[in-house]
Structure 1
Amino acid sequence: VVGGLERSLSGEGGARYARLVRAEPREAGGPRPLAEGSAYPGFRVVRAVRGRELALAGAHRFSTYSLVFRIEDLEDGRARLRAETRAAFPGMAGRIYRLLVIGSGGHAIGMRRMLAGYRKG
């Protein structure tokens, strides 16, 4: 999860978007390998349990949100990666933002792409 997350969240596009919506945090930083307090544009690590769970949180002018990755062991040495997102969209601007991001299906598409990047054949 960690390597894929670094690629997904550390790109210049994410940093530009974080600046545009005034996300906190706006820059990558903190401890590496990932631990509580590590940051990417728009996300801060709030919990990291190696090989089990990675919980991120963030906020910007339209929303507060969290993204939690969980890994569950399956049979035959396989594993399942799950991602859970939660967000609050306060005020009129938040409701409009939610309509644009969630209502359009853009968030679901982005999450599917992110998870597909971790798939191993």
Structure 2
Amino acid sequence: MPKNALPHVDDHTTVVEAAPDVLWRALCEVLDRSGARPGATGYARLVGCTDRAATGPRPLAAGSALPGFHVTSALPDRELVLEGGHRFSSYALVFRIERTGRGRSALTAETRAVFPGATGGLYRRLVVGTGGHTWATRRLLASVRRRAERGPRPTTA
């Protein structure tokens, strides 16, 4: 289901003391690191996610996958669209980067999702209704902000 066809759930924004290119690299690194955790693959398997492992090109690009998500669009330094689905929901997580000043950017995470049937409604209450989704999204954004504000990692030859 295309991201625009899904109902809006929420969005969260953080301001980052970093240029969009540094923020983009930090976003991709944090998402890859989060997806590599055993809990991510276990949860993806438990709820029956379509995407259960990290695969495809790195850094993240269209065709990449993380547990629970696949990248449908990657516009470096501007927008990253992750989509996914499992037994209880179809969803999209859209990250947007906007330059807000010299060496400063805003990172927004927009969630869109549908929760079909009674089990989908129960899942929504458990994940969204309890504040768990908001907590997890804000925590992810804070991790990206901290990583970006540390600056780019030096490359090794």
Partners of 1:57 and 1:75 in 2: CA distance = 30
Q: Of residues 60, 68, 88 in structure 2, which corresponds to 1:42?
A: 68
After TM superposition, give the deviation of residue 77 of structure 1 in Å.
Answer: 1.6
Residues 54-69 of structure 1 correspond to what in structure 2 (within 5 A)? 54-69=80-95
Residues 1-121 of structure 1 correspond to what in structure 2 (within 5 A)? 1-119=27-145, 120=149
After TM superposition, give the deviation of residue 42 of structure 1 in Å.
Answer: 0.5
Letter of the 1:78 counterpart:
R
Partners of 1:35 and 1:7 in 2: CA distance = 16
- Asked which structure has the greater RCO (Cα within 8 Å, sep 6+), the reply is 2
After TM superposition, give the deviation of residue 76 of structure 1 in Å.
Answer: 2.0
The answer for unaligned runs of 5 or more in structure 1 is none
1:118 aligned counterpart, secondary structure: helix
Structure label with greater radius of gyration: 2
Partners of 1:26 and 1:5 in 2: CA distance = 14
The answer for unaligned runs of 5 or more in structure 2 is 1-26, 151-157
Partners of 1:17 and 1:42 in 2: CA distance = 8
Partners of 1:51 and 1:12 in 2: CA distance = 28
RMSD over aligned CA atoms reads 1.0
After TM superposition, give the deviation of residue 82 of structure 1 in Å.
Answer: 0.6
TM-score, normalization: structure 2?
Answer: 0.75
Partners of 1:106 and 1:114 in 2: CA distance = 12
What are the superposed Cα offsets for residues 37-89 of structure 1, whole Å, 9 maximum, x if unpaired? 10011100000011111000000000000001111001122111110001100
Identical aligned residues as a percent = 55
Residue-pair matches, total:
121
1:31 aligned counterpart, secondary structure: coil
TM-score, normalization: structure 1?
Answer: 0.96
